[in-house]
């Protein structure tokens, strides 16, 4: 294959970090690589907050549900969907016109822009020898995270990302078989569910091996539990308060 695809195929989340720093130059290179991802009509509707301040990181670790690695990694990035610059531009150039920053479409554009940039940045960090892990946990207490980071209206924290030198060796988690996610010309429900059946076998084996026989729940059972538990139900009201998703 090639270096880039090989890098992707080696990806696993890292949750234990050495204290070695990420230099300001490395951080700049990582974020600049993130910026090169595509953006809807070049709106670049995202920002990233690099948290290195120890106190700030400790608070975020707690807000994310007590995840120690958020505190231990040298840089914790908070990827934000950001319509602040666009709202400012509209207010300056077209103050008499109504803004559609609160539409579902613009919520999606900003969220996706943040996601594409962050994935480039994740790979850039890995290509420089660092390990990373995405932290969706910051959405659990999203309002407190937004306040702590002083996010203005039109900006919300999508997720965090720990970056640092890995201090653990973990296995690569098997993915769904290709046929479960890749369809040809139209959606194939039977094929995707067949893929899930196969994956249930794979994941049961994988979990059993990884936990020395202690856990062996097939993936679809874990997913059933996950989908039937209310999670982060306060996110919607928070987003609306910050000017998102109103129509």
In the region spanning residues 26 to 85, those forming contacts with a second copy, defined by CB under 8 A, are 27-29, 31-33, 35-38, 40-44, 46-53, 56, 80, 82-85
Can you give the length of the chain in residues? Answer: 247
| Integer Cα distance of 214 and 202 in angstroms | 16
Report the nearest approach of a second copy to the CB of residue 78 (Å).
9
Instruction: Report the nearest approach of a second copy to the CB of residue 53 (Å).
Output: 5
Q: Are 31 and 48 in contact (CB under 8 A)?
A: yes
| Of 16, 18, 128, 165, the one binding a second copy by CB under 8 A | 128
Distance of CA 173 to the CA centre of its chain: 17
x/- contact string, 171-190, with a second copy (CB under 8 A)? --x-xx-x-xxxxxxxx-x-
Q: How far is the CB of 99 from a second copy (least distance, A)?
A: 5
Closer to a second copy by CB, 214 or 233: give it: 233
Query: How is residue 139 annotated by DSSP?
Result: G
List the one residue from 16, 62, 90, 143 that touches a second copy (CB under 8 A). Answer: 90
Instruction: Find the binder of a second copy among 22, 138, 148, 163 (CB under 8 A).
Output: 148
Longest CA–CA separation in the chain, Å: 65
Q: Does residue 130 interact with a second copy by CB under 8 A?
A: no
Asked if 22 touches a second copy (CB under 8 A), the answer is: no
Q: Which two tokens stand for residue 34?
A: 């993130």
Task: Classify residue 75 as exposed, middle or buried by CB count within 10 Å of its CB (0-12, 13-18, 19+).
Answer: buried
- CA atoms of 75 and 27, how far apart (whole Å): 9
CB contact at 8 A, 30 and 122: no
Number of residues that bind a second copy (CB under 8 A): 119
Smallest separation (angstroms) from a second copy to the CB of 122: 7
C-alpha 153/C-alpha 155 separation (Å) is: 6
Q: CB of residue 182 vs a second copy: minimum separation in angstroms?
A: 5
Contacts of a second copy in 213-242 (CB under 8 A): 219-233, 235-236, 239
CB of 73 to a second copy, least distance (A): 15
In this structure, the dihedral spanned by the alpha carbons of residues 203, 205, 215 and 168, taken in order and rounded to 10 degrees, is -80
What contacts 84, CB < 8 A, 6 or more positions away? 47, 152, 153, 154, 155
Q: Which is nearer to a second copy, 20 or 24 (CB)?
A: 24
Nearest distance in Å: CB 16, a second copy = 17
């Amino acid at each position: 294959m090639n270096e880039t695809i090989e890098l992707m195929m080696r990806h696993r989340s890292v949750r234990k970090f050495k204290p070695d720093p990420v230099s300001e130059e490395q951080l700049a290179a990582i974020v600049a690589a993130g910026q090169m991802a595509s953006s809807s009509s070049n709106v670049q509707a995202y920002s990233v907050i690099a948290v290195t301040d120890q106190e700030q990181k400790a608070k975020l670790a707690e807000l994310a549900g007590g995840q120690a690695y958020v505190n231990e990694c040298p840089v914790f990035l908070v990827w934000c969907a950001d319509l602040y610059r666009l709202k400012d531009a509209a207010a300056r150039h077209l103050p008499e016109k109504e803004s559609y920053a609160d539409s579902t479409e613009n919520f999606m554009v900003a969220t996706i822009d943040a996601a594409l940039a962050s994935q480039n940045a994740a790979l850039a960090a890995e290509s420089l020898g660092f390990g990373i892990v995405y932290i969706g946990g910051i959405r659990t207490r999203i309002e407190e995270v937004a306040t702590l980071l002083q996010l203005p209206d039109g900006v919300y924290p999508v997720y965090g990302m720990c970056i640092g030198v890995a201090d653990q060796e973990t296995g690569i988690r098997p993915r769904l078989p290709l046929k479960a996610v890749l369809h040809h010309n139209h959606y194939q429900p039977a094929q995707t569910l067949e893929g899930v059946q196969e994956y249930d076998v794979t994941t049961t084996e994988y979990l059993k091996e990884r936990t020395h026989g202690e856990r062996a729940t097939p993936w679809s059972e874990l997913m059933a539990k996950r989908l039937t538990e209310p999670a982060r139900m306060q996110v919607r009201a928070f987003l609306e308060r910050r000017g998102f998703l109103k129509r």
